[in-house]
Copies of this chain bind each other. A is one copy, B any other.
Amino acid sequence: MEKIYSYAQLYEFTVNVFKAMGCSDADAALAATVLISADARGIDSHGVARLSGYVRLWEAKRINATPNIKIVHETPSTAVVDGDAGLGLVVAPFAMQVAIDKARQAGTGWVSVRNSNHFGIAGYHAMMALQHDMIGMAMTNASALVAPTFSVERMLGTNPIAVAIPAATQPAFVADFATTTAANGKLEILQRKNADAPLGWVQDKEGRDTTDANALKQSGALLPLGSDREHGSHKGYALGSIVDIFSAVLSGASYGPWAPPFPAYVPMPQNMPGEGLGHFFGAMRVDAFRPADEFKQHMDNWIDRFRKAKPAQGYEKVLIPGDPEREMEAARMKSGIPVVEAVAEDLKTVAQKFNINF
């Protein structure tokens, strides 16, 4: 059911696909690095499983393989970047680098991006800040799949937030999560297995909580983090909204139900209020607040104390955000990355299309 590929195999293939789309060597390498970081870290929904989706968006002329990505407005600590419909996988690292450069000068840097596309995993971009002793943040809006509290209409994407915080000897704190109860990728896995979803993940088209993992495909909606009003879904709805506004209303991208869909066969929304998808990035120099060594030692202390929090019965230990993905990456870089058959077949189709090896 699964085949194991090495990181290098998937990386090289992905570089070749992006080159075949017309990306420059540098852009193809960057886009592949960002995309495959998802497979390495165990976020299988956001890696090579999406490669054919990017190709179809390019075929539909919704992705520009040779974009002129540029800063269109700036202040000492902010910028707006126009992605020129480029791959989000390339636009996002450009914009995050602008945030880092701003932070070096002004203490912090905040960049809102318009006219972009799906950017892979948010965590990759946030983590770019770590090597500079900065806190990194990344978020993005996305195709509308989520209903606000009290609604049956899909108004928001899964709108993830990533925050990466450096430590000294401990590994960095890296949170990266959809602002829904469950990421869409988890639902897709259940759909493939024809298995039920837990209550609280998805509602049907009437707004009723359901265990039917296929309800989302039948005009249902994903639920905001919190699942229902009594359990705080209005908070998940607020978080998803904040991501939408920072990413798309601040930048001039298309927001809410008008966010461009990832599947190329879905028609673009009518009367879009902005251009493309939007992202938002932040970088804060730790020593803009206190000496970096001091901060990182306290982060070590924070992490160590939380790791030692008394576990509940049946659980081994408390995890620090980023632990599971880092452990997965270490294992997969050594033993390879499993790719399910359906995705492997999909990649073979892409290979044939461009007449490249897989």
A residues apposed to B, CB below 8 Å: 73, 75-78, 80, 105-108, 110, 112, 147-153, 155, 163, 165, 173, 175, 177, 179-182, 198, 200-201, 203, 206-207, 225-227, 230-232, 234-239, 241-242, 244-245, 249-252, 255-257, 273-274, 284-286, 288-290, 295, 298-299, 301-302, 305-306, 309-313, 315-319, 321
The answer to whether A206 touches B313 (Cβ under 8 A) is yes
Contact of A78 among B75, B108, B180, B317 (CB under 8 A): B108
Residues of B with C-beta under 8 A to A181: 226, 231-232
The answer to whether A257 touches B305 (Cβ under 8 A) is yes
- Given known contacts A76-B77, A77-B76, is B289 in contact with A251 (CB within 8 Å)? yes
The answer to whether B290 touches A241 (Cβ under 8 A) is no
| Bound Cα distance from A149 to B311, whole angstroms | 9
Contact of A321 among B105, B241, B299 (CB under 8 A): B241
- Given known contacts A110-B107, A150-B317, is B77 in contact with A256 (CB within 8 Å)? no
| Bound Cα distance from A106 to B109, whole angstroms | 10
Task: Give A103 Cβ to nearest chain B Cβ, in Å.
Answer: 8
Residues of B with C-beta under 8 A to A230: 198, 200
Extra 12 A-B pairs, beta carbons < 8 Å, given A76-B77, A76-B105, A150-B311: A73-B290, A77-B108, A106-B106, A149-B318, A153-B310, A163-B242, A165-B245, A175-B241, A182-B232, A225-B225, A231-B231, A273-B301
Contact of A290 among B107, B251, B321 (CB under 8 A): B251
